[in-house]
């Protein structure tokens, strides 16, 4: 059976190191599929103006398109070119929760992420997405510095 | 069509009878005020005309009968599906693949930010100030019944919305009138849609704009001292202009985040004040019930209390008016009726919870003066408003009531009123715009024209006196309800089919919660 590794990207350079680490793992495992995941931070419980609501569907498509073309597709293409089995997923939601959900859905055996780049006030209060992921994930998580 | 005829007649009559100009040389504020009152008077008189031989405005009967009909027709859907509505808002039934789309919660929150506002703070004070505590009873009753009206219009709003190729949506009564009537093979849908749109634009300029600007000015003037209203109007108009024309989203975003916080703070403070006077709660409810059926000396007695209660509830939660159908139609759902369920929470939160809090605080802090000899409320003049401790009316009455418990609260309330006013204006600018584009078509210049008109009315609203503004606001919004409710009677069978189908699938387990 092919084992799967989820790689969470956030568009920063730590993602590159996460990919490098996952590639190394995949080579050691042998038959391994790499899932490149980009989660667009989103909550169903925010407040929006009527106009934002009316445009939401359009914006969502644009966000998915942007994340795919800028982050996920290049990474997947590079992995495929290097001979790896890879696919990309872009989804909206809470970063930690969604990464874990995708992992469970795809029966992946572990998650590799870069160290979170979030900082400041929000991080002090709620912790970073990476911290949340490490605390709550159903599979082992590797955080690459 | 009858309405337009009457309107025309009334306008002609007023033109003949009303004196053209004020007696003395008035200030700018007074000039605007006088011109405004003269211009809108006939329209207001028509909308609030009583049933012949009574003092009961026909429009209030129209709305309450509609809410009662919908409640019965859908077998009290507002109670049967109340729990389900909460599940929907929590996202229990949301498809995880729709993450990133407009959620039920967001549609509800957006619609609420358009309705929760001055109606809940100032409007209730006006109602209780004229109709006495008994108005509260009728207000709650109207709120509970209104949930069924809201359910009907919002289900239709989602069902018949337009979804354009670029992914944007437009919905609301004008779309269900034209598309729904066509689907049922009924004539006249288009005419109703045009009429509704005209009134919606007036409502947006009145209750959604001038009333807000007016009360915001009163708040600021109450704190910094009296100064001309047009100054507040200009500042507000500039900020609104920046948001709706300049696309400055940051202001809107801050407001949208602060407004819910203010709403929670308001209810929490009210609860604390009620708790501090816990020994008075029984007495307060006694006043509400006694006042509901006897009036306790208010002008018009029981009917006076009832009219005020119904009128305020309708103005505050807008059930049957059709505005919410515009706000709710952006939600992402495969089942239009789910948004109907969610929307029925709106009158509940707005009227049954928030408005009742305002009324209770005013009653319990004893702002309304009772004649110790008779136990009835004292009026400022025969047939006038109830005398209050410091002669306050409207928002200043609410402010005084809260201030009697917490000296600092009037400042918080002033900020809340300004923010509520602002967020309501932003919401209504959108409703008005949707009606405008329905009439004149979409396009940058056409939209810009409406937005500029909207900003001009902010200035007029801030400069005019409360009386004419509040009358016109109510009249315009109720005129929307005349057309909307008429259409809902024809379309309600569509909603009943949806309800039957959905309820059956919910029972069979075909519609079930998603694992999150």
List, for residues A8-24, the tens digit of each pLDDT value. 887 777 888 889 999 99
The answer to whether residues A135 and A95 touch, using CB atoms and an 8 Å cutoff, is no
Task: Give the least confident one: A15-24, A136-145, B39-48.
Answer: B39-48
Which residues of B fall within a CB distance of 8 Å from A92?
A: 99-100
Contact yes or no for A57 and B167 at CB 8 A = yes
Contact yes or no for B330 and A98 at CB 8 A = no
Contact yes or no for B326 and A50 at CB 8 A = yes
Contact yes or no for B430 and A47 at CB 8 A = no
Which residues of A fall within a CB distance of 8 Å from B249?
A: 49, 52
Q: Does the pTM of the predicted model rise above 0.95? A: no
CA dihedral B354, B356, B357, B358 (to 10 degrees): 90
Per-residue confidence (pLDDT) for residue A2, from 0 to 100: 77
Structure tokens at B107: 């549609």
The answer to whether residues B409 and B178 touch, using CB atoms and an 8 Å cutoff, is no
Q: Residue B514: pLDDT band by 50, 70, 90 thresholds?
A: confident
As a whole-number percent, the residues of chain A with pLDDT over 70 amount to 91
| Residue B79, pLDDT above cutoff 50 | yes
Residue B248 lies in a domain: yes
Domain extent for B140: 59-86+97-508
Per-residue confidence (pLDDT) for residue A126, from 0 to 100: 56
Residue B419 lies in a domain: yes
The answer to whether residues B390 and B403 touch, using CB atoms and an 8 Å cutoff, is no
Residues of B with CB under 8 A from a CB of A: 91, 94, 96, 99-107, 109-110, 113-114, 166-170, 249, 252-253, 256-257, 259-260, 326-327, 330-332, 426-427, 430-431
Per-residue confidence (pLDDT) for residue B182, from 0 to 100: 94
Q: Tell me the shortest Cα–Cα distance from A104 to chain B, in angstroms.
A: 12
Per-residue confidence (pLDDT) for residue B513, from 0 to 100: 85
Q: Residue A121: pLDDT band by 50, 70, 90 thresholds?
A: low
Interface test with B, best of A56, A58, A99 (most B CBs within 10 A): A56
**How large is the average pLDDT for residues B371-391?**
81
Contact yes or no for B101 and A51 at CB 8 A = no
Q: Residue B18: pLDDT band by 50, 70, 90 thresholds?
A: very low
Give the C-alpha separation, B274 to B327, whole Å. 33
Give which of A37, A40, A42 is closest to A114, Cα–Cα. Answer: A37
B94-100 long-range CB contacts below 8 Å, 24 or more apart?
B94/A44, B94/B514, B95/B514, B96/A93, B96/A101, B96/B514, B96/B516, B98/B332, B99/A42, B99/A44, B99/A91, B99/A92, B99/A93, B99/A98, B100/A40, B100/A42, B100/A56, B100/A60, B100/A63, B100/A64, B100/A91, B100/A92, B100/A93
| Residue A125, pLDDT above cutoff 90 | no
Per-residue confidence (pLDDT) for residue B163, from 0 to 100: 87
Q: Residue A123: pLDDT band by 50, 70, 90 thresholds?
A: low
Interface test with B, best of A54, A65, A136 (most B CBs within 10 A): A54
Contact yes or no for B114 and A50 at CB 8 A = yes
CA pseudo-torsion sign A122, A128, A132, A137: positive
Per-residue confidence (pLDDT) for residue B422, from 0 to 100: 87
| Residue B23, pLDDT above cutoff 80 | no
B304-359 per-position pLDDT tens digit:
888 889 888 877 788 889 999 998 988 888 899 999 999 999 999 999 999 999 99
Interface test with B, best of A42, A49, A63 (most B CBs within 10 A): A49
Per-residue confidence (pLDDT) for residue B26, from 0 to 100: 61
Contact yes or no for B99 and A45 at CB 8 A = no
As a whole-number percent, the residues of chain B with pLDDT over 90 amount to 37
Contact yes or no for A47 and B109 at CB 8 A = yes
Structure tokens at A55: 């445009």
Q: At what angle do helices B189-205 and B409-440 cross, to 10 degrees?
A: 150
Instruction: Quickly count: other Cβ atoms within 10 Å of residue B466's Cβ.
Output: 18
Task: Give the least confident one: A7-11, A77-81, A120-124, B104-108.
Answer: A120-124
Which residues lie closer than 8 Å to B183 by C-beta, 6 or more apart? B494
Per-residue confidence (pLDDT) for residue B314, from 0 to 100: 78
**How large is the average pLDDT for residues B248-272?**
82
Contact yes or no for A55 and B110 at CB 8 A = no
**How large is the average pLDDT for residues B133-144?**
93
Per-residue DSSP letters for A22-34? HHHHHHHHSSEEE
Contact yes or no for B99 and A63 at CB 8 A = no
CA-angle at B343, arms to B247 and B65, nearest 5°: 120
Contact yes or no for A47 and B257 at CB 8 A = yes
Give me the residue from B94, B107, B252 closest to A53, CB to CB. B107
Highest mean pLDDT: which range of B69-83, B120-134, B222-236: B69-83
Q: How many CA atoms lie within 13 A of B325 on its CB side?
A: 35
**How large is the average pLDDT for residues B2-7?**
36
Highest mean pLDDT: which range of B36-40, B48-52, B68-72, B430-434: B68-72
Residues of A with CB under 8 A from a CB of B: 40, 42, 44-58, 60-61, 63-64, 91-93, 98, 101
Residue B12 lies in a domain: no
Burial of B490 from C-beta contacts in 10 A (0-12 / 13-18 / 19+): middle
Contact yes or no for B106 and A101 at CB 8 A = no
Contact yes or no for B167 and A58 at CB 8 A = yes
The answer to whether residues B495 and B156 touch, using CB atoms and an 8 Å cutoff, is yes
Task: Give the least confident one: A40-44, B50-54, B67-71.
Answer: B50-54
Q: Residue A65: pLDDT band by 50, 70, 90 thresholds?
A: very high
**How large is the average pLDDT for residues B383-394?**
80
Interface test with B, best of A38, A39, A44, A61 (most B CBs within 10 A): A44
The answer to whether residues B351 and B143 touch, using CB atoms and an 8 Å cutoff, is yes
C-alpha distance across the termini of chain A, in Å: 30
Give the C-alpha separation, B484 to B147, whole Å. 15
Residue B284 lies in a domain: yes
Per-residue confidence (pLDDT) for residue A122, from 0 to 100: 54
Higher per-residue confidence, A124 vs B339: B339
Which residues of B fall within a CB distance of 8 Å from A51?
A: 430
Residue B513 lies in a domain: no
- What is the domain-level CATH number for residue B319? 1.20.1740.10
Question: How long, in residues, is chain A?
Answer: 145
Per-residue confidence (pLDDT) for residue B343, from 0 to 100: 94
| Residue B177, pLDDT above cutoff 90 | yes
A89-120 per-position pLDDT tens digit:
999 998 888 999 999 999 999 999 887 655 55
| Residue B219, pLDDT above cutoff 90 | no
Residue B428 lies in a domain: yes
Contact yes or no for A93 and B94 at CB 8 A = no
CA pseudo-torsion sign B353, B359, B360, B365: positive
Per-residue confidence (pLDDT) for residue A116, from 0 to 100: 66
Interface test with A, best of B92, B93, B94, B99 (most A CBs within 10 A): B99
Residue B324 lies in a domain: yes
Per-residue confidence (pLDDT) for residue A145, from 0 to 100: 80
| Residue B258, pLDDT above cutoff 90 | no
Which residues of A fall within a CB distance of 8 Å from B426?
A: 49-50
Give me the residue from B110, B332, B427 closest to A57, CB to CB. B332
Give the C-alpha separation, B156 to B433, whole Å. 20
| Residue B7, pLDDT above cutoff 70 | no
Q: Tell me the shortest Cα–Cα distance from B303 to chain A, in angstroms.
A: 37
**How large is the average pLDDT for residues B110-128?**
85
What are the helix and strand counts (H, E) for chain B?
25, 2
Domain count, chain B: 1
**How large is the average pLDDT for residues B38-55?**
81
Residue B46 lies in a domain: no
Per-residue confidence (pLDDT) for residue B17, from 0 to 100: 37
Contact yes or no for A48 and B256 at CB 8 A = yes
């Amino acid at each position: 059976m092919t084992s799967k590794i989820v790689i969470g990207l956030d568009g920063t350079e730590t993602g590159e190191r996460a990919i490098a680490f996952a590639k190394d793992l995949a080579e050691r495992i042998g038959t391994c599929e790499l899932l490149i995941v980009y989660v667009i931070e989103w909550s169903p419980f925010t407040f929006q103006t009527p106009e934002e609501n009316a445009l939401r569907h359009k914006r969502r498509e644009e966000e998915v398109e942007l994340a795919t073309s800028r982050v996920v597709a290049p990474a997947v293409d590079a992995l495929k070119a290097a001979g790896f089995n890879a696919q990309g997923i872009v989804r909206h939601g809470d970063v930690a929760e969604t990464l874990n959900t995708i992992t469970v859905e795809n029966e992946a055996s572990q998650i590799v992420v870069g160290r979170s780049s979030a900082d400041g006030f929000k991080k002090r209060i709620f912790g970073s997405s990476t911290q949340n992921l490490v605390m709550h994930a159903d599979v082992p998580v590797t955080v690459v510095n | 069509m009858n309405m337009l005829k009457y309107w025309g007649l009334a306008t002609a009559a007023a033109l003949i009878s009303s004196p053209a100009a004020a007696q003395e040389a008035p200030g700018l504020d007074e000039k605007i005020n006088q011109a405004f009152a003269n211009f809108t008077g006939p329209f207001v008189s028509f909308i609030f005309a009583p049933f012949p031989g009574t003092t009961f405005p026909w429009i209030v009967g129209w709305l309450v009968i509609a809410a009662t009909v919908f409640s019965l027709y859908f077998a009290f859907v507002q109670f049967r599906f109340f729990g389900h509505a909460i599940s929907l808002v929590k996202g229990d039934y949301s498809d995880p693949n729709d993450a990133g789309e407009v959620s039920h919660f967001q549609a509800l929150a957006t619609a609420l930010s358009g309705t929760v506002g001055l109606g809940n703070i100032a409007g209730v004070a006006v109602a209780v100030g004229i109709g006495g505590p008994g108005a509260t009873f009728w207000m709650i009753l109207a709120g509970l019944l209104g949930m069924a009206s809201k359910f009907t219009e919002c289900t239709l709003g989602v069902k018949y919305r337009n979804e354009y190729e670029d992914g944007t949506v437009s919905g609301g009564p004008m779309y269900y009138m034209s598309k729904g009537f066509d689907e049922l093979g009924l004539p006249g849908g288009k005419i109703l849609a045009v009429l509704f749109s005209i009134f919606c634009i007036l409502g947006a300029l009145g209750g959604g704009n001038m009333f807000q600007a007016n009360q915001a000015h009163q708040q600021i003037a109450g704190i910094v001292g009296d100064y001309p209203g047009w100054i507040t109007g200009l500042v507000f108009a500039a900020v609104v202009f920046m948001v709706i024309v300049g696309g400055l989203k940051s202001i809107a975003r801050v407001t949208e985040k602060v407004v819910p916080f203010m709403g929670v703070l308001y209810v929490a403070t009210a609860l604390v004040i009620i708790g501090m006077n816990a020994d008075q709660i029984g007495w307060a409810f006694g006043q509400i019930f006694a006042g509901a059926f006897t009036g306790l000396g208010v002008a018009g007695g029981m009917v006076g209390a009832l009219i005020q209660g119904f009128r305020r509830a309708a103005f505050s939660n807008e059930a049957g008016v059709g505005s919410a159908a515009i706000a709710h139609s952006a939600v992402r759902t495969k089942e239009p009726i789910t948004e109907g369920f969610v929307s029925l929470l709106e009158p509940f939160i707005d009227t049954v919870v928030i408005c009742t809090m305002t009324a209770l605080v005013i009653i319990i802090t004893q702002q309304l003066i009772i004649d110790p000899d008779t136990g009835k409320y004292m009026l400022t003049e025969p047939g006038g408003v109830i005398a209050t401790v410091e002669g306050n009316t409207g928002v200043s009455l609410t402010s005084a009531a809260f201030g009697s418990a917490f000296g600092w609260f009037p400042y918080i309330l002033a900020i809340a009123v300004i923010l509520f006013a602002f967020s309501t204006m932003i919401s209504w600018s959108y409703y008005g715009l949707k009606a405008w584009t329905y009439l004149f078509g979409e396009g940058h210049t056409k939209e810009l024209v409406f937005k500029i008109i909207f900003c001009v009315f902010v200035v007029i609203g801030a400069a005019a006196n409360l009386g004419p503004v509040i009358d016109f606001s109510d009249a315009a919004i109720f005129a929307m309800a005349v057309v909307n409710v008429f259409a809902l009677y024809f379309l309600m069978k569509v909603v009943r089919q949806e309800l039957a189908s959905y309820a059956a699938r919910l029972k069979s387990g075909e519609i079930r919660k998603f694992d999150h």
